[in-house]
Amino acid sequence: MKKLSLIAILSSFLFSCGGGGGGENITISGKVVASNVKGLKVCIKNSDTCTLTDKNGNFYLESPAPFPALNFYVDNILLADYTLKENGEIITPFKMAEGNETVGDILSKIIHAFGGDVNGTEPVIDLSNISDVSINGQSIDPTNSIEDYLRSGETVKIEFYSDGKTYTVECYPSNSTVELCEDSNCTSVNYRQWLVLIYMDGDNSLGSTRDNSYVFSDLSEMESVSFPPQIKVVALVDYYGDTGGEIYETDGTGKLKKVANTNELNMGDPETLVNFVKEYMDKFPSPKNALIFWDHNKLSNKVFSN
């Protein structure tokens, strides 16, 4: 009787705690960036749980696991898959490609081609109006994604319908070339190849007079040129005194322009540097990245200041 009573108690406990049943779903989130990607279909792998990314590339899903495998679709064609590493993660084509720089670059170009952006510079790529997508003549391939085809080195032809017209995206992994074609008229699709981050510490003798200083002079020089669309330049600038800092970015025309003011910066704090690099590498994913520590070759001790 004691054994039966113990079994009954344990059974009651397990039942009340949900033993043997499934747990509650949790809300997971992420952001797809190759520019902000709107209208990309995101699904929990092997499920019907799907959503579309919003204008900022954000998505939210109910998942039974905190870090699920995800599938990304354009219309009904599987673009790529990726396993979430952290909630709220920024997911780029280079992450989807798992370190394969060529595949990541081509996926980025394909996304921009779907959006009609052959220069690869538009801040938002809208996939909401894409339909009738086929890859190499197949409207649905349940086993292979576009990423899989690219990894195999195959030439890939993707047809799609958008805004009353039919287009073809032709992808050549052998030379990382992507073309957007309409009625046999093809245009090469570019995408950012370099992200150049400039860490400009002028909170010293280099910026002692804000409008007549090495900082101002070098910024003016950079503003006077036009960078190609394949290069994105971002500069974090701190001036002398407690006047706060500024952020400069190249725009769609390749011109460097001020986009934001910041609070007073401690450029000697490693966290300031880490936050700057992480924010913009997430915001502007590129296959190649450069970080320039600007001091106009004048800081004798090579130490940045507060």
Would you say residue 20 lies in a domain? no
Asked if residue 277 and residue 172 are part of one domain, the reply reads no
The predicted structure's pLDDT at residue 209: 54
Instruction: Give the domain-ending residue among 124, 158, 188.
Output: 188
- Phi first, then psi, for residue 305 (nearest 5°) are -110, 165
In the chain, which stretches have pLDDT less than 50? 1-21, 298-301, 306
Position 138 in a domain: yes
- pLDDT for 206: 64
Q: Kindly report the CA angle at 298 between 297 and 304, in degrees rounded to 5?
A: 95
Do 152 and 58 belong together in one domain?
A: yes
The backbone region for 46, taken as left when phi is positive above 0, alpha when psi lies in -120 to 50, beta otherwise, is left
- According to the model, what pLDDT value does residue 265 have? 86
pLDDT 10s digits, 28-86 = 999 999 888 999 999 999 999 999 999 999 999 999 999 999 999 999 999 999 999 99
The reported pLDDT for the residue numbered 205 is 61
pLDDT at position 274, please?
A: 94
Question: Is residue 19, in this structure, part of any structural domain at all?
Answer: no
Tell me what pLDDT residue 17 has: 45
Asked if 45 and 164 sit in the same domain, the reply is yes
Please tell me whether residues 173 and 48 are part of one structural domain: yes
Here the CATH number for the domain that contains residue 42 is: 2.60.40.1120
User: 182 and 33, same structural domain?
Assistant: yes
| 160 in the same domain as 237 | no
In a domain, residue 257? The reply is: yes
CA–CA distance, 93 with 150 (Å, rounded to integer): 13
Q: Do 46 and 179 fall within a single domain?
A: yes
Q: What is the pLDDT of residue 139?
A: 80
Nearest Cα to Cα of residue 78 among 125, 29, 42, 102: 42
User: Considering the domain boundaries, does residue 48 fall inside one?
Assistant: yes
Question: How confident is the model at residue 123, as a pLDDT?
Answer: 84
The number of folded domains in the chain is 2
Are residue 161 and residue 206 in the same domain, yes or no?
A: no
CATH code of the domain in which 201 resides: 3.40.50.11970
User: What pLDDT score was predicted for residue 304?
Assistant: 52
Do residues 131 and 232 share a domain? no
Same domain (yes/no): 95, 126: yes
Q: What pLDDT does residue 212 have?
A: 53
pLDDT of residue 306: 44
Last residue of a domain, one of 188, 214, 248: 188
Q: Are residues 234 and 132 in the same domain?
A: no
Structural domain range at position 163? 26-188
Residues 40 and 180 in one domain: yes
The residue behind tokens 């994105």 is 232
Last residue of a domain, one of 156, 188, 220: 188
Q: How confident is the model at residue 218, as a pLDDT?
A: 86
